[in-house]
Amino acid sequence: MDIHKSIDKLAKIDREVMLYENISALLGWDQETNMPPGAVEGRAEQQSLIQGVLHDKMTDPIIGELLGAAGASEEQPGGDSSLSDQDQGLVRQYFREFNRQTKLPRRLVQDFAAATSNAQPAWAAARKAESFAQFQPHLERITALTREMSEKLGYSDHPYDPLLDHYEPGMTTAEVSRVFSQLKKDSISLLEKISHADQPDDSFLYQPYDSRLQDEFGRKVLTSMGFDFNRGILTESAHPFTTSLGKDDIRITTRYNEPSMSSSLFSTIHEGGHALYEMGAASPELKGTCLGTGTSLAVHESQSRFWENIVGRSSEFWEFYYPALKKLFPEQLKAVSRQHFVQGINKVSPSMIRVNADEVTYSLHVILRFELETALVSGELEVKDLPEAWNVKMKEMLGIVPGNDAEGVLQDVHWSAGLIGYFPTYALGNLFSAQFFDTMKHEIPQYDVHVAKGELEVLHEWLDQRIHRYGAIFTAAEILHRVTGKSLDPGHFSRYLEEKYSAIYHLD
């Protein structure tokens, strides 16, 4: 078959596959935001059917034939070198996914979809009841299916490898362990220094803030960042998330029921960062294709963490936005200066909840989950022992112990959704964001001035041109090297934290 005809046929299959993916995403969105509690069983059947259809399409032998005609192989997953970057990206994505899907029986894919659909409401109920025992049977089922998937997919080093590779292609357990070892050491060292310094007062954050006004301010910031409300919406859910339901349908959620106003605000900014990546990746030539999305979860997380922390928690950002916030909440902030506010939102203190954690301790929450997941998948740790193992590691890394399962082992939705292998990408995203940021500052010499003037479109344009517009055409490693000229270096993030928090806490 002619190589270009094979690409055309593969692209046609891709368009149909993406429509089914969008349908599945819409079902998931509805389940997290609007679905009545009694619809769980029916939704599990729907998702199981969709995933079964997708599995059939992705394992159709014709895809293998088309990939062969395109020149794809283990040595050259992107196919023939004569193909364009976009066509090589398409071939690489399908070569990888075809190899993965053909190793998984349809029965296993459907069982996993049904198990996770049933587990999510069970997790929500267990968290509300502060009872891991209620959720344990569901997680045992998911863990058993996950271990089976790992065996079917195959690995040469660690059973966690094929699970991690699903979310961060090319990354291995050994490499994450190496990077996290240094990150863990640096984070604990900085945390120890900060523990001896005077803590800023952040009590002003913990008082009533009208959720409608919080929403108004969040939308103002999203608009300045470049979020297109003609192509996206913001609503509420129990756990903030971002999802793409089609070519021009990017949806994000936040929540306003936290004890601190800043938690909701930074969740909104965080998810906005994800949305900007999806909107930028859905350029005209990539819309509706598997390439019209972020290239990896770590790169995706780098975008959200960049906007949330590097920009959103900076003094320059609040030089422009603090007057507007103070106007909305004059009583709550009447005695709070901008400097006091910035110190408060950057307070470092070990806490139970990952999504509320400060920049210094956040990665430790992720490393904790990575260590538990690798042990769980390998069989070194059983589900029933998770609560105790969780509490032990919290004590070791952060010096605190959860008072109940809801603020401990049950706090995240990821395990109920079957996303084992996902957590490391959060901390990897921190590393990517800092490395991108160092290059951005060099290429935008007046970066601080632009942010202080509220000119966030300058940052958005840089990200669009250097990262977003390529979607998934290039791998995460390729994007990082194209932008920074280097491979992943955790030193960028450690230096960023050290410089920022040494200034805030007046460290020697």
Catalytic residues: 271
- DSSP letter at 234? E
Beta strand 232-236 with 250-254: parallel, antiparallel or unpaired? parallel
Place of tokens 């004569």: 82
Rounded Cα–Cα distance for residues 286 and 292 (Å):
5
Give the 3-state DSSP-derived string for 80-114, with helices as H, strands as E and coil as C: CCCCCHHHHHHHHHHHHHHHHHCCCCHHHHHHHHH
Contact 238, 250 (CB under 8 A): no
Give the 3-state DSSP-derived string for 399-433, with helices as H, strands as E and coil as C: CCCCCCCCCCCCCCCCCCCCCCCCCHHHHHHHHHH
Measure Cα distances from 327 to 156, 321, 322, 334 in Å.
59, 10, 8, 9
Length of the chain: 508
Contact 473, 92 (CB under 8 A): no
Beta strand 242-244 with 232-236: parallel, antiparallel or unpaired? unpaired
Task: Give all strands of the β-sheet with 250-254 in edge-to-edge order.
Answer: 232-236, 250-254, 242-244
* 55 Cα distance to chain centroid: 24
Phi, psi (rounded to 5 degrees) for 409: -65, -20
Angular region, 357: left φ>0, alpha ψ -120 to 50, beta rest:
beta
Rounded Cα–Cα distance for residues 243 and 246 (Å):
9
Contact 360, 346 (CB under 8 A): no
- DSSP letter at 469? G
Q: What is the dihedral of CA 395, 401, 406, 412, to 10 degrees?
A: -20
